[in-house]
Amino acid sequence: MKLLGSRKLTWIICVIGILLAVAGVFFLPEAIPVHFANGIADDFGNKVEIFLFPVLLLIITFLTGKENIKYFLTHSKTFLTDIQYNLMIDGVLGIILIAEIYVAYASFV
């Protein structure tokens, strides 16, 4: 429960995304899929574009760590506890991480 109440899980997700992108530079092909329609890649970009995912992860992590944003999100019409707030943010980051993993996977299939 300590992991959920703190921002450790949030930073773990960010680090995994960064490490995946760094490893991707060495192992991904030059062209990676960047857009999918009905599960089929229909647009491709340079493999450096894999770094868009960790940048997005870091932006969300930094912004949601700001006290005024956290206060606004936790004291809106539905009050959120710290654990609920962190789970919400970690869920969003998890979806982005899954998208990054899917792009890396689809690059080889």
d(CA 16, CA 21): 9
Percent of the chain surpassing pLDDT 70: 94
The region that residue 75 occupies, defined by phi over 0 for left and psi between -120 and 50 for alpha, beta otherwise, is: alpha
pLDDT of residue 4: 62
Query: Are the C-beta atoms of residues 5 and 89 closer than 8 Å to each other?
Result: no
Structural domains counted in the chain: 1
DSSP-assigned letters across all residues of 57-76 = HHHHHHHHHSHHHHHHHHBS
pLDDT in tens, 2-33: 666 678 999 999 999 999 999 999 999 999 99
Torsion of CA 58, 102, 88, 77, to 10 degrees: 100
pTM here is 0.86
Domain that holds residue 79: 2-106
